[in-house]
Structure 1
Amino acid sequence: MTANHDLVEDIRDYWSRRAQTFDLAFGHHIAPGPEAAAWAAPMAHLGAAPARVLELACGTGEVTQLVHGLGHDVTALDFSEQMLAVARAKHAGKPRLRFILADAQNTMEPEASFDAILCRHLVWTLTDPQAAFAEWFRVLRPGGRLLVYDGDWTRPRPSGRLAAWILARWEQIAPDPYYDGALSVRHAGIMRRLPFSQGLTFARIAPVLQQAGFADVRKIPHDPIARAQRANQGLRNRLRTRVYRRFILIAEKPH
């Protein structure tokens, strides 16, 4: 129990320390135009607006901006006060939007109170995936949808190994002060202690969601987002989109 608590606090501290510069790191800020449209397209699976949407681990509110902009009523939570401070400032004064300090694995929200749940790059950090998925199932109404954007950040995909090697050499020559991502020592240290330490893949997550009660679990392509990210980037960031295997997942709580 103590070890798990320490891991949770390490994760919270890691993201909190990055809050002020998080949007400056490639892959976190969502550029308006084609990239924003590519991220928003899968949100059509959440249902017609206005739906009651719970965004888990909202961070600085980049995804929040998209789902709220589609006309949904959004509750966005994060367990980092520093991340929430940035998100609240970014979205100050907007209606139909509530930010709360809470744990994505234990939201404390009422049962069957949301039409949809979404999260970006959260599932790989879960310390108890089974409990988290059971909680998400609980707060969804029957027929509600879950939308997950994530990936396997543990090792490069075969076609991304050369890109990873080039990026590692690039960091040695000219370090990027804002890119403290999957190649950083601290990030790797946290990842080794997580349930998905062997890599988060659709094949690994789907049966755990099904055990929690979710149905119609399916994968949709992430490639349109990667292509949009590459469109207006330099070589370094274009290479970053090719290293890891990423996916988007849709699931439903049965009626």
Structure 2
Amino acid sequence: MADSANFTLRDEIKAYWSERAATFDQSPGHEIFSEEERAAWHALIGRHLGRGDGRKALDLASGTGVISHLMDDLGYQVTGIDWSEAMLERARAKAASRGRAIRFHVGDAENTLEADDSYDVIITRHLVWTLVDPEACFAEWLRVLKPGGKLLIIDGDFVNTGLAERLIKRLATFLERTNLIKTQAPHAPATMASMHESILSRVHFSGGARVEAVSRMLKVTGFSPVTADTNLRKIHKAQSQYFGFFKAIARGLQHRYAIIAQKPAE
């Protein structure tokens, strides 16, 4: 590891996701495992961003390129950026194997180095909850969008759990320990759990990225209008068949959402 005095939280986040890259696509909720789920994602994106028709799209924290491919399906000219080269290696290989003309390169969501007013749409999935400085990121995204361009954020509060979700998880744990149901594979390797918890405790939304808080910050940044869509049931339903019974129920109870924010037209 680098000298701890120079190894920042942002470096830790980059290292964490780089280590996750090798198995990232094996997890339901990351890669897409059915045409039903693919169609549900297409419907969500189409509902809020419309068809691409050659318009330019920026996929921030593109990872292995899952969302980039969905945007490409819909006719967008896609650029994916991520600060993990390990993730990008897999994204490029996937695009090449599928014959997709998607451009992937190393980049920072807080400082994209993209030109002013250069993208019609920006999309992110499960990025906002990891941000160290979301205000700086939102200002950067506003700068990069063309006037009238739209930002689509898909994210959630993965910290706070309601009573029903806690009870479902406790019941599942009890049944696993008593061998009444099969133990579910963890979403991430158990060896990385402490690293994940340490990072989560220090990001901006350490108390949970609630839709109201994220939307409010986007409005302060200058996006208008800003609207929220919490109806992600079709995506969850398609994914749930790849989770165990109890995990699927618990996941469906989580605070997940899409936020659509527009850069005002000049």
Give 3-state SS (helix, strand or coil) of 2:207's partner.
coil
Distance across 2 between alignment mates of 1:219 and 1:169: 36
Give 1:63's match in structure 2, choosing from 63, 67, 70. Answer: 67
**Do the aligned partners of 1:55 and 1:77 also contact (CA within 8 Å) in 2?**
yes
Structure 1 position 43 matched with structure 2 position 45: yes
Could you tell me which residue of structure 2 aligns to residue 92 of structure 1? 96
Give 2:256's match in structure 1, choosing from 241, 246, 250. Answer: 246
- Superposition RMSD in Å: 2.3
Give 1:112's match in structure 2, choosing from 110, 117, 124. Answer: 117
Give 3-state SS (helix, strand or coil) of 2:58's partner.
strand
Distance across 1 between alignment mates of 2:253 and 2:96: 36
- List alignment gaps of at least 5 residues for structure 1: none
Could you tell me which residue of structure 1 aligns to residue 194 of structure 2? 185
The farther-off stretch of 229-238 and 84-93 is 229-238
For each residue in 1:20-55, what CA deviation from the matched residue of structure 2 results, as whole angstroms up to 9, or x when unmatched?
111112311112311111122121122332210000
Could you tell me which residue of structure 2 aligns to residue 211 of structure 1? 220
For each residue in 1:205-249, what CA deviation from the matched residue of structure 2 results, as whole angstroms up to 9, or x when unmatched?
011101111011111122221122124544254245235211111
Give 2:15's match in structure 1, choosing from 13, 23, 38. Answer: 13
The farther-off stretch of 233-242 and 191-200 is 233-242
Structure 1 position 74 matched with structure 2 position 78: yes
Could you tell me which residue of structure 2 aligns to residue 222 of structure 1? 232
Could you tell me which residue of structure 2 aligns to residue 198 of structure 1? 207
Q: Which has the larger Rg?
A: 2
Distance across 1 between alignment mates of 2:167 and 2:204: 28
The farther-off stretch of 119-128 and 185-194 is 185-194
User: In structure 2, do the counterparts of structure 1 residues 171 and 119 end up closer, same or farther at CA, with 3 Å as the change threshold?
Assistant: farther
**Do the aligned partners of 1:64 and 1:76 also contact (CA within 8 Å) in 2?**
yes
The farther-off stretch of 130-139 and 208-217 is 208-217
Could you tell me how far 1:136 is from its partner in structure 2? 0.2
Could you tell me how far 1:117 is from its partner in structure 2? 0.2
The farther-off stretch of 84-93 and 191-200 is 84-93
Distance across 2 between alignment mates of 1:80 and 1:12: 6
- List alignment gaps of at least 5 residues for structure 2: none
Count of aligned pairs: 253
Distance across 2 between alignment mates of 1:234 and 1:192: 28
Distance across 2 between alignment mates of 1:232 and 1:154: 22
Give 3-state SS (helix, strand or coil) of 1:55's partner.
strand
